[in-house]
Amino acid sequence: MRAALGALASAGLITTAACGDSGNAASGAAAGSAAAASGAATAARDEPAETDWRYTLAPLPYAYDALEPVIDAETMQLHHGRHHQAYVNGLNAALEARPDLQGMALEEILARVSGLPVAFRNHGGGHWNHDFFWNSMTAPGTGGEPSEAFASAIDEAFGSLEAMKEAFNQAGGGQFGSGWAWLIVNDAGDLEVTATPNQDNPLMDVAEVQGTPILGNDVWEHAYYVQYRNRGGDYLAAWWDVVDWSVASERYASAVED
Ligand code: MN3
C-alpha cells in the first residue's frame, strides 16, 4: 500500500499531502523511503527544488492599516501589493536567466552586484529593501526604545537620539530623486547615517558608503505621496513613530557581534 502510494507520488499523479498522511510522521517517512527506492522518485523530488529559488512576496507582518495615522492603508496596499510585488517579479525574471545565481543568498548577490545585469541591482535591491522596511515598523507607539547598548552607541556617534534622527531625516530629504535613508554599522563598527539612490543599499559593492543596515526609510514618492503629497519632510518626521526599536536593537547587536 505504502509502495503504491509512493509510486503514485513519484509519478506525479498525487502529492504527498494527498496521501492523507500529512499528520503522521511515521507513515510519511515510510512513503518517502518507498518513493526514494524508485528511480523516478529522484526526478519527482527534484521537481519542486527546481523552483525553490523563486522569491515570493511575504504578507506584511501587520494589517495594512496598522501604521495609521503615520502611513495610511491605501499607501501600504499599493506599496506592498504593487511596488514590492514588481520587484519580486523582476528579481525572479533576472534569476531565470542566471541559473548560476539561483538559490544564492540575496545578500551575496547584492555584494557582487556591480558585475551583474542591472536588474539585480534594481529588483534585487528593491526586494531586499522592502522586506527590511516592512520589518522595521510597528503600530504607532508600540516600538519601544533602543536597547542600552544601541542607545549609547547612538549617543557616541551623534550626541543624542534626536540628533541621529535629524541627520537621518536630512540624508533622506537630501537624496535627489528616489532613494533610501539608512542608519548603518559601518566597516569600522560605528553607527553612520547615509543615503542611496534608487533601490541601492549599503550591502551593495556599488554603494558609496557600505555597511550593515540597522534602519532604512523609503524616500520614494510612492512611499508617502497619497497621504503626504509633496510634504516629504513631514513623512520623514512622522516615520519615527512607527519605528520598531526592538528590531533595530537586535539588528545592532548582531551587526557589532560579527
Ligand atoms: Mn518603496
Structural domain total, the chain:
3
On whether residue 199 sits in a domain, the answer given is: yes
Which residue range forms the structural domain that includes residue 25? 2-50
Pair (118, 174) in one structural domain:
no
Distance CA 68, CA 80 (A): 15
- What are the grid coordinates assigned to 138, written together? 510597528
Partnered with residue 195 across adjacent β-strands are 181
Judged by DSSP in three states, 71 sits in coil
Residue range 181-207, pLDDT digits in tens? 999 999 999 999 999 999 999 999 999
The percent of residues in the chain predicted with pLDDT above 70, rounded, is 80
Domain boundary among 84, 110, 134: 134
CATH value at residue 208: 3.55.40.20
Q: How far is the CA of 180 from the centre of ligand 1 (A)?
A: 9
pLDDT of residue 119: 98
On whether residue 42 sits in a domain, the answer given is: yes
The answer, as to whether pTM is greater than 0.85, is no
Pair (101, 162) in one structural domain:
no
Pair (158, 205) in one structural domain:
yes
Q: How far is the CA of 29 from the centre of ligand 1 (A)?
A: 44
Distance CA 46, CA 168 (A): 47
Q: Which residue pairs from 45-54 have beta carbons closer than 8 angstroms and sit at least 24 positions apart in sequence?
A: 45/10, 47/12, 52/103, 53/95, 53/102, 53/103, 54/92, 54/95
pLDDT of residue 248: 98
The percent of residues in the chain predicted with pLDDT above 90, rounded, is 79
On whether residue 56 sits in a domain, the answer given is: no
Pair (16, 114) in one structural domain:
no
Pair (121, 159) in one structural domain:
no
Distance CA 137, CA 191 (A): 20
Q: How far is the CA of 224 from the centre of ligand 1 (A)?
A: 9
Pair (190, 232) in one structural domain:
yes
Residue range 157-187, pLDDT digits in tens? 999 999 999 999 999 999 999 999 999 999 9
Q: How far is the CA of 87 from the centre of ligand 1 (A)?
A: 10
Q: How far is the CA of 91 from the centre of ligand 1 (A)?
A: 15
Which helix H or strand E contains 31, and what residues bound it? Answer: helix 25-37
CATH value at residue 99: 1.10.287.990
Domain boundary among 85, 101, 134: 134
Pair (156, 239) in one structural domain:
yes
Please, are residues 87 and 199 in contact by the beta-carbon 8 Å criterion? yes
Distance CA 121, CA 204 (A): 8
